[in-house]
Amino acid sequence: MLKRARTVCLLRPQDVQPSQDDMQVVGVFNPGVTEFAGQVHLLVRVAETPREQREGMIGLPRWDGEGREGGRIVTDWFAADRVDYLDPRVVRLRDTGALRLTYTSHLLLARSRAGDRIDEVTRTRFVPQSAYETYGVEDPRITRIGDVYYFTYVAVSPHGVATALGSTTDFVQFRRHGIIFCPDNKDVVLFPQKIAGSYAALHRPNPRMLFTSAQMWMARSGDALRWGQHEFFYSGEGGWESGRVGAGTPPLLTDRGYVAIYHGNWRPADGGDVGTYCAGAMLLDAENPRKILGRTTAPIMRPQTPFECDGFIPNVVFPTGVVDRGDALLVYYGAADTVTAMVQWRWDELLAAL
Ligand code: MAN
Protein backbone atom coordinates (compact mmCIF):
# COMPACT_ATOMS: atom_id res chain seq x y z
CA MET A 1 0.00 0.00 0.00
CA LEU A 2 1.13 3.51 -0.82
CA LYS A 3 2.61 5.39 2.13
CA ARG A 4 0.46 8.26 3.32
CA ALA A 5 2.62 11.35 3.79
CA ARG A 6 0.01 12.73 6.15
CA THR A 7 -3.55 12.11 7.39
CA VAL A 8 -5.60 14.81 9.14
CA CYS A 9 -9.15 14.70 10.46
CA LEU A 10 -10.59 18.10 9.43
CA LEU A 11 -14.18 18.23 10.58
CA ARG A 12 -16.31 16.33 13.06
CA PRO A 13 -20.09 16.43 13.67
CA GLN A 14 -19.64 18.54 16.81
CA ASP A 15 -17.94 21.28 14.73
CA VAL A 16 -21.14 21.99 12.80
CA GLN A 17 -24.45 23.56 13.88
CA PRO A 18 -27.61 21.69 12.88
CA SER A 19 -29.75 23.29 10.16
CA GLN A 20 -32.68 23.55 12.59
CA ASP A 21 -33.06 23.31 16.39
CA ASP A 22 -34.89 19.99 16.45
CA MET A 23 -32.15 18.18 14.48
CA GLN A 24 -28.72 16.87 15.46
CA VAL A 25 -25.67 16.48 13.25
CA VAL A 26 -24.47 12.86 13.04
CA GLY A 27 -22.08 13.15 10.11
CA VAL A 28 -20.00 15.70 8.19
CA PHE A 29 -18.41 13.72 5.38
CA ASN A 30 -17.88 13.11 1.63
CA PRO A 31 -16.97 16.71 0.72
CA GLY A 32 -16.79 18.23 -2.76
CA VAL A 33 -13.55 20.23 -2.89
CA THR A 34 -11.97 22.88 -5.09
CA GLU A 35 -9.68 25.89 -4.89
CA PHE A 36 -11.43 29.24 -5.26
CA ALA A 37 -10.19 32.77 -4.52
CA GLY A 38 -6.99 31.44 -2.99
CA GLN A 39 -8.69 29.13 -0.54
CA VAL A 40 -9.75 25.49 -0.49
CA HIS A 41 -13.56 25.40 -0.56
CA LEU A 42 -15.32 22.32 0.77
CA LEU A 43 -19.01 21.56 0.22
CA VAL A 44 -19.46 19.09 3.03
CA ARG A 45 -22.34 16.64 3.29
CA VAL A 46 -24.07 17.19 6.64
CA ALA A 47 -26.24 14.29 7.84
CA GLU A 48 -28.84 14.98 10.51
CA THR A 49 -31.30 12.94 12.56
CA PRO A 50 -34.25 14.16 14.66
CA ARG A 51 -33.26 15.11 18.21
CA GLU A 52 -36.53 13.86 19.64
CA GLN A 53 -36.84 10.22 20.72
CA ARG A 54 -40.21 8.53 21.19
CA GLU A 55 -40.66 5.27 23.04
CA GLY A 56 -41.27 2.37 20.62
CA MET A 57 -41.15 4.67 17.59
CA ILE A 58 -38.66 5.60 14.91
CA GLY A 59 -38.56 9.10 13.46
CA LEU A 60 -37.57 9.35 9.79
CA PRO A 61 -36.70 12.80 8.45
CA ARG A 62 -37.58 14.29 5.07
CA TRP A 63 -37.54 17.76 3.53
CA ASP A 64 -40.92 19.38 3.16
CA GLY A 65 -39.97 21.89 0.46
CA GLU A 66 -42.36 20.84 -2.31
CA GLY A 67 -39.96 22.45 -4.73
CA ARG A 68 -40.04 25.77 -2.90
CA GLU A 69 -37.14 27.61 -1.37
CA GLY A 70 -37.08 27.68 2.40
CA GLY A 71 -38.35 24.16 2.92
CA ARG A 72 -37.60 22.50 6.24
CA ILE A 73 -37.08 19.06 7.70
CA VAL A 74 -40.13 17.28 9.06
CA THR A 75 -40.12 13.94 10.84
CA ASP A 76 -42.49 11.05 10.06
CA TRP A 77 -43.00 8.69 13.01
CA PHE A 78 -43.49 4.95 12.60
CA ALA A 79 -43.91 2.11 15.10
CA ALA A 80 -40.43 0.62 15.49
CA ASP A 81 -41.77 -2.91 14.98
CA ARG A 82 -43.22 -1.96 11.55
CA VAL A 83 -39.76 -1.13 10.23
CA ASP A 84 -36.87 -3.37 9.12
CA TYR A 85 -33.30 -2.08 9.15
CA LEU A 86 -31.34 -2.88 5.97
CA ASP A 87 -28.30 -1.16 7.50
CA PRO A 88 -27.92 1.80 9.89
CA ARG A 89 -28.80 4.20 7.04
CA VAL A 90 -31.75 2.55 5.34
CA VAL A 91 -35.01 1.06 6.64
CA ARG A 92 -37.92 -0.65 4.89
CA LEU A 93 -41.44 0.22 5.99
CA ARG A 94 -43.27 -3.08 6.35
CA ASP A 95 -46.68 -1.65 5.47
CA THR A 96 -45.75 -0.22 2.09
CA GLY A 97 -42.39 -1.84 1.33
CA ALA A 98 -40.98 1.66 0.79
CA LEU A 99 -37.39 2.44 1.71
CA ARG A 100 -36.47 5.46 3.84
CA LEU A 101 -33.22 6.92 5.12
CA THR A 102 -32.72 7.20 8.87
CA TYR A 103 -31.02 10.58 8.32
CA THR A 104 -31.22 13.39 5.81
CA SER A 105 -28.34 15.32 4.26
CA HIS A 106 -27.68 18.78 2.88
CA LEU A 107 -24.43 20.56 1.87
CA LEU A 108 -22.54 23.14 3.92
CA LEU A 109 -19.64 25.33 2.79
CA ALA A 110 -16.37 25.35 4.76
CA ARG A 111 -13.08 27.07 3.88
CA SER A 112 -9.43 26.33 4.46
CA ARG A 113 -6.43 28.45 3.55
CA ALA A 114 -3.69 25.83 3.70
CA GLY A 115 -5.95 22.87 2.94
CA ASP A 116 -4.95 20.94 6.05
CA ARG A 117 -7.25 22.56 8.63
CA ILE A 118 -10.69 24.17 8.47
CA ASP A 119 -10.51 27.92 9.08
CA GLU A 120 -14.18 28.71 8.67
CA VAL A 121 -17.44 26.81 8.67
CA THR A 122 -19.72 29.24 6.84
CA ARG A 123 -23.50 29.63 7.08
CA THR A 124 -23.88 28.89 3.36
CA ARG A 125 -26.03 25.80 2.95
CA PHE A 126 -27.31 24.06 -0.16
CA VAL A 127 -30.50 22.34 0.99
CA PRO A 128 -32.98 20.05 -0.75
CA GLN A 129 -35.61 21.87 -2.80
CA SER A 130 -37.05 19.73 -5.55
CA ALA A 131 -39.31 16.71 -5.41
CA TYR A 132 -36.23 14.63 -6.32
CA GLU A 133 -34.43 15.75 -3.15
CA THR A 134 -37.01 14.97 -0.44
CA TYR A 135 -34.75 12.56 1.44
CA GLY A 136 -31.61 14.63 0.99
CA VAL A 137 -28.75 15.82 -1.19
CA GLU A 138 -25.45 13.97 -0.80
CA ASP A 139 -21.85 13.44 -1.89
CA PRO A 140 -21.01 16.49 -4.05
CA ARG A 141 -18.06 16.39 -6.48
CA ILE A 142 -16.81 19.74 -7.76
CA THR A 143 -15.19 20.23 -11.18
CA ARG A 144 -14.11 23.62 -12.41
CA ILE A 145 -14.82 24.10 -16.12
CA GLY A 146 -13.65 27.55 -17.24
CA ASP A 147 -14.95 30.01 -14.62
CA VAL A 148 -17.84 27.80 -13.53
CA TYR A 149 -17.63 25.40 -10.60
CA TYR A 150 -19.96 22.54 -11.44
CA PHE A 151 -20.93 20.08 -8.74
CA THR A 152 -22.70 16.79 -9.20
CA TYR A 153 -24.67 15.58 -6.20
CA VAL A 154 -26.88 12.66 -5.29
CA ALA A 155 -30.58 13.51 -5.01
CA VAL A 156 -32.57 11.00 -2.94
CA SER A 157 -36.39 10.81 -2.91
CA PRO A 158 -39.28 8.36 -3.37
CA HIS A 159 -38.32 8.54 -7.06
CA GLY A 160 -34.99 6.88 -6.28
CA VAL A 161 -31.34 7.79 -6.02
CA ALA A 162 -30.44 10.10 -8.91
CA THR A 163 -27.58 12.46 -9.73
CA ALA A 164 -28.23 16.16 -10.21
CA LEU A 165 -25.99 19.02 -11.31
CA GLY A 166 -25.45 22.37 -9.62
CA SER A 167 -23.08 25.21 -10.39
CA THR A 168 -21.69 28.37 -8.88
CA THR A 169 -19.25 31.08 -9.87
CA ASP A 170 -18.88 32.67 -6.41
CA PHE A 171 -19.88 30.08 -3.75
CA VAL A 172 -22.67 32.45 -2.68
CA GLN A 173 -25.33 31.81 -5.33
CA PHE A 174 -25.95 28.29 -6.54
CA ARG A 175 -27.76 27.30 -9.74
CA ARG A 176 -29.63 24.05 -10.16
CA HIS A 177 -29.50 22.31 -13.54
CA GLY A 178 -31.73 19.38 -12.59
CA ILE A 179 -31.21 15.65 -12.81
CA ILE A 180 -28.44 14.62 -15.21
CA PHE A 181 -28.47 10.85 -14.52
CA CYS A 182 -31.82 9.26 -13.65
CA PRO A 183 -32.30 6.69 -10.84
CA ASP A 184 -30.44 4.70 -9.72
CA ASN A 185 -27.17 6.40 -10.48
CA LYS A 186 -24.52 7.98 -8.27
CA ASP A 187 -20.75 8.55 -8.00
CA VAL A 188 -20.76 10.94 -10.96
CA VAL A 189 -17.60 12.96 -11.63
CA LEU A 190 -17.01 15.38 -14.51
CA PHE A 191 -13.68 15.68 -16.29
CA PRO A 192 -12.33 19.24 -16.13
CA GLN A 193 -12.07 19.90 -19.87
CA LYS A 194 -13.45 18.81 -23.22
CA ILE A 195 -11.76 15.73 -24.65
CA ALA A 196 -11.93 15.24 -28.44
CA GLY A 197 -14.72 17.81 -28.60
CA SER A 198 -16.95 16.66 -25.74
CA TYR A 199 -17.17 16.71 -21.98
CA ALA A 200 -16.82 13.38 -20.22
CA ALA A 201 -18.20 11.98 -16.99
CA LEU A 202 -17.83 8.77 -15.04
CA HIS A 203 -21.04 7.45 -13.52
CA ARG A 204 -22.26 4.37 -11.70
CA PRO A 205 -25.68 3.04 -12.73
CA ASN A 206 -27.85 0.89 -10.48
CA PRO A 207 -25.64 -1.33 -8.31
CA ARG A 208 -28.32 -4.04 -8.17
CA MET A 209 -28.48 -4.92 -11.87
CA LEU A 210 -29.52 -8.44 -12.83
CA PHE A 211 -26.61 -9.53 -14.97
CA THR A 212 -23.71 -7.76 -13.37
CA SER A 213 -22.19 -6.31 -10.25
CA ALA A 214 -21.76 -2.56 -9.90
CA GLN A 215 -19.92 -1.01 -12.84
CA MET A 216 -18.54 2.38 -13.70
CA TRP A 217 -19.63 3.85 -17.05
CA MET A 218 -18.50 6.81 -19.10
CA ALA A 219 -20.81 9.36 -20.73
CA ARG A 220 -20.17 12.31 -23.07
CA SER A 221 -21.82 15.66 -23.49
CA GLY A 222 -21.53 18.74 -25.68
CA ASP A 223 -22.59 21.14 -22.94
CA ALA A 224 -22.06 19.26 -19.63
CA LEU A 225 -25.85 19.28 -19.09
CA ARG A 226 -27.19 16.67 -21.54
CA TRP A 227 -25.38 13.34 -21.32
CA GLY A 228 -25.32 10.42 -23.73
CA GLN A 229 -22.97 8.10 -25.65
CA HIS A 230 -22.83 5.81 -22.63
CA GLU A 231 -20.12 3.19 -22.61
CA PHE A 232 -18.92 0.63 -20.11
CA PHE A 233 -15.79 1.78 -18.29
CA TYR A 234 -14.70 -0.51 -15.43
CA SER A 235 -16.15 -3.23 -13.23
CA GLY A 236 -13.45 -4.05 -10.71
CA GLU A 237 -11.40 -7.22 -10.42
CA GLY A 238 -12.75 -8.90 -7.31
CA GLY A 239 -11.20 -8.70 -3.86
CA TRP A 240 -11.47 -5.22 -2.40
CA GLU A 241 -13.56 -4.15 -5.45
CA SER A 242 -15.95 -7.12 -5.39
CA GLY A 243 -18.97 -5.39 -3.81
CA ARG A 244 -19.01 -2.06 -5.58
CA VAL A 245 -16.79 0.30 -7.53
CA GLY A 246 -17.48 3.96 -8.13
CA ALA A 247 -15.68 7.13 -9.11
CA GLY A 248 -14.26 9.12 -6.26
CA THR A 249 -12.48 12.37 -7.02
CA PRO A 250 -12.88 14.32 -10.27
CA PRO A 251 -10.02 13.32 -12.63
CA LEU A 252 -6.93 15.56 -12.67
CA LEU A 253 -4.94 16.07 -15.86
CA THR A 254 -1.21 15.34 -15.47
CA ASP A 255 1.43 15.07 -18.17
CA ARG A 256 0.96 11.29 -18.09
CA GLY A 257 -2.83 11.38 -18.41
CA TYR A 258 -5.80 11.78 -16.08
CA VAL A 259 -5.38 10.57 -12.51
CA ALA A 260 -8.62 9.52 -10.82
CA ILE A 261 -9.03 8.18 -7.30
CA TYR A 262 -11.96 5.75 -6.98
CA HIS A 263 -13.52 3.57 -4.31
CA GLY A 264 -14.10 -0.12 -4.05
CA ASN A 265 -16.17 -2.02 -1.55
CA TRP A 266 -15.77 -5.52 -0.22
CA ARG A 267 -18.97 -6.92 1.20
CA PRO A 268 -19.21 -10.01 3.38
CA ALA A 269 -21.32 -12.76 1.81
CA ASP A 270 -23.73 -12.95 4.76
CA GLY A 271 -25.14 -9.48 3.98
CA GLY A 272 -26.33 -7.10 6.67
CA ASP A 273 -22.96 -5.46 7.03
CA VAL A 274 -22.02 -2.56 4.75
CA GLY A 275 -18.51 -3.97 4.30
CA THR A 276 -15.18 -2.20 3.92
CA TYR A 277 -14.60 0.74 1.57
CA CYS A 278 -11.06 1.29 0.23
CA ALA A 279 -9.57 3.61 -2.38
CA GLY A 280 -7.51 2.96 -5.51
CA ALA A 281 -6.06 5.13 -8.27
CA MET A 282 -6.24 4.98 -12.05
CA LEU A 283 -4.31 6.60 -14.87
CA LEU A 284 -6.42 7.34 -17.96
CA ASP A 285 -5.35 8.25 -21.48
CA ALA A 286 -5.60 12.03 -21.94
CA GLU A 287 -7.06 11.75 -25.47
CA ASN A 288 -9.27 8.73 -24.85
CA PRO A 289 -9.95 8.48 -21.10
CA ARG A 290 -11.86 5.23 -21.51
CA LYS A 291 -8.46 3.66 -21.97
CA ILE A 292 -7.06 2.76 -18.53
CA LEU A 293 -3.27 3.06 -18.79
CA GLY A 294 -2.49 2.12 -15.23
CA ARG A 295 -4.19 1.10 -12.04
CA THR A 296 -3.07 0.37 -8.51
CA THR A 297 -4.01 -3.28 -8.11
CA ALA A 298 -3.94 -3.11 -4.32
CA PRO A 299 -5.83 -0.30 -2.57
CA ILE A 300 -3.77 2.83 -1.97
CA MET A 301 -5.81 3.45 1.13
CA ARG A 302 -7.80 1.26 3.45
CA PRO A 303 -9.45 2.12 6.79
CA GLN A 304 -6.66 2.36 9.38
CA THR A 305 -7.01 5.28 11.77
CA PRO A 306 -9.58 5.14 14.61
CA PHE A 307 -11.81 7.71 12.87
CA GLU A 308 -11.82 5.57 9.71
CA CYS A 309 -12.54 2.34 11.55
CA ASP A 310 -15.17 3.59 14.02
CA GLY A 311 -18.21 5.73 13.37
CA PHE A 312 -21.74 5.63 11.96
CA ILE A 313 -20.60 3.15 9.26
CA PRO A 314 -17.29 1.61 10.40
CA ASN A 315 -14.41 0.90 8.01
CA VAL A 316 -15.11 3.44 5.28
CA VAL A 317 -12.72 5.70 3.40
CA PHE A 318 -14.58 7.46 0.59
CA PRO A 319 -12.53 9.99 -1.45
CA THR A 320 -14.56 12.76 -3.11
CA GLY A 321 -12.25 15.76 -3.56
CA VAL A 322 -8.75 16.56 -4.67
CA VAL A 323 -6.34 19.52 -4.65
CA ASP A 324 -3.07 19.53 -6.59
CA ARG A 325 -0.23 21.07 -4.59
CA GLY A 326 2.64 20.63 -7.07
CA ASP A 327 4.69 17.87 -5.49
CA ALA A 328 1.83 16.67 -3.31
CA LEU A 329 -1.73 15.57 -3.90
CA LEU A 330 -4.29 16.39 -1.21
CA VAL A 331 -7.22 13.99 -1.26
CA TYR A 332 -10.32 14.80 0.77
CA TYR A 333 -12.56 12.00 1.92
CA GLY A 334 -15.34 10.94 4.22
CA ALA A 335 -14.33 8.51 6.97
CA ALA A 336 -16.79 6.08 8.57
CA ASP A 337 -19.66 8.22 7.16
CA THR A 338 -18.96 10.50 10.15
CA VAL A 339 -16.02 12.89 9.61
CA THR A 340 -14.18 14.73 6.83
CA ALA A 341 -10.45 14.05 6.52
CA MET A 342 -7.53 14.77 4.23
CA VAL A 343 -4.75 12.45 3.15
CA GLN A 344 -1.62 13.66 1.45
CA TRP A 345 0.43 11.67 -1.04
CA ARG A 346 3.61 12.55 -2.89
CA TRP A 347 2.89 12.78 -6.61
CA ASP A 348 6.03 10.89 -7.58
CA GLU A 349 5.12 7.97 -5.29
CA LEU A 350 1.52 7.89 -6.48
CA LEU A 351 2.49 7.99 -10.16
CA ALA A 352 5.09 5.26 -9.56
CA ALA A 353 2.34 3.05 -8.06
CA LEU A 354 0.34 3.40 -11.29
C1 MAN B 1 -26.48 4.33 0.42
C2 MAN B 1 -25.33 5.08 1.07
C3 MAN B 1 -25.82 6.24 1.91
C4 MAN B 1 -26.81 7.08 1.16
C5 MAN B 1 -27.87 6.25 0.47
C6 MAN B 1 -28.73 7.08 -0.45
O7 MAN B 1 -27.21 3.67 1.36
O8 MAN B 1 -24.46 5.55 0.08
O9 MAN B 1 -24.75 7.07 2.31
O10 MAN B 1 -27.44 7.98 2.07
O11 MAN B 1 -27.28 5.23 -0.30
O12 MAN B 1 -27.96 7.67 -1.46
Q: What tens digit of pLDDT does each residue of 25-62 get?
A: 999 999 999 999 999 999 999 999 999 999 999 999 99
Position 269 scores a pLDDT of 61
Work out the burial of residue 34: count CB atoms within 10 Å of its CB; fewer than 13 is exposed, 13-18 middle, 19 or more buried: buried
Distance (Å, whole) CA 64 – CA 113: 36
Residue 90 Cα: closest atom of ligand 1: 7
Ligand 1 atom index nearest CA of 101: 10
Quick: pLDDT tens for 175-196: 999 999 999 999 999 999 999 9
- Ligand 1 center–CA 297 separation, angstroms: 26
Cβ atoms of 94 and 87 closer than 8 Å: no
Measured in Å, residue 15 CA sits from the centre of ligand 1 at 22
Task: Give me the pLDDT at residue 238, please.
Answer: 85
Rounded to the nearest angstrom, the distance between the alpha carbon of 177 and the centre of ligand 1 is 22
Report CA(59)–ligand 1 centroid distance (Å): 18
pLDDT at residue 273 greater than cutoff 80: no
Question: Rounded distance, CA 127 to CA 328, Å?
Answer: 33
Q: What is the CA radius of gyration of the chain?
A: 19
What confidence score (pLDDT) does residue 36 get? 98
**Mean predicted confidence (pLDDT) in 295-313:** 96
pLDDT, position 274 = 86
What does the mean pLDDT of the chain come to? 95
- Measured CA to CA, the distance from residue 207 to residue 247 in angstroms comes to 13
User: Picking from 106-110, 200-204, 249-253, 267-271, which range would have the lowest pLDDT averaged per residue?
Assistant: 267-271
| Segment 252-271 mean pLDDT | 88
For a pocket test of ligand 1, which of 48, 101, 104, 152 has the largest count of ligand atoms closer than 8 A to its C-beta? Answer: 101
Query: Whole-angstrom Cα distance, residue 316 to residue 314?
Result: 6
Atom of ligand 1 nearest to the CA of 105: 10
Please give the number of the atom of ligand 1 that sits closest to the Cα of 30. Answer: 9
Mutate to test the pocket of ligand 1, among 63, 89, 107 (most ligand atoms within 8 A of CB): 89
Give residue 161 CA to ligand 1 midpoint distance, Å. Answer: 8
- How confident is the model over 98-141, as pLDDT tens digits? 999 999 999 999 999 999 999 999 999 999 999 999 999 999 99
Q: Of all residues in the chain, what percent carry a pLDDT higher than 70?
A: 97
The more confidently predicted of residues 215 and 238 is 215
pLDDT (mean) for 231-247: 93
Q: Which of 45, 87, 90, 277 to mutate to test the pocket of ligand 1 (most atoms within 8 A of CB)?
A: 90
* Alpha carbon separation from 30 to 10, 177, 297 (Å, rounded): 12, 21, 24
Residue with CA closest to ligand 1 atom 2:
89
Q: Which ligand 1 atom is nearest residue 313's CA?
A: 9
Mean pLDDT of the region 288-309: 96
Distance 88 CA to ligand 1 centre (A): 10
Beta carbons within 8 Å of 140's beta carbon, 6+ residues apart: 30, 31, 32, 43, 45, 107, 126, 151, 152, 153, 166, 320
Centre of ligand 1 to C-alpha 346, Å, is: 31
Pocket-forming residues, ligand 1, beta carbon under 6 Å: 89-90, 101, 138, 154, 156, 161
CA of 154 to the centre of ligand 1 (A): 9
Q: In whole angstroms, give the CA distance from residue 216 to residue 282.
A: 13
pLDDT band for 297, please (50, 70, 90 cuts).
Answer: confident
pLDDT band for position 68 (50/70/90)? Answer: low
For residue 59, give the nearest of 87, 31, 91 by alpha carbon: 91
| Mean predicted confidence (pLDDT) in 234-254 | 94
pLDDT band at residue 243 using 50, 70 and 90 as cut-offs: confident
89 CA distance to ligand 1 middle (Å): 7
Greatest alpha-carbon span in the chain: 60
Residue 39, number of CB atoms within 10 A of its CB: 16
pTM of the model: 0.96
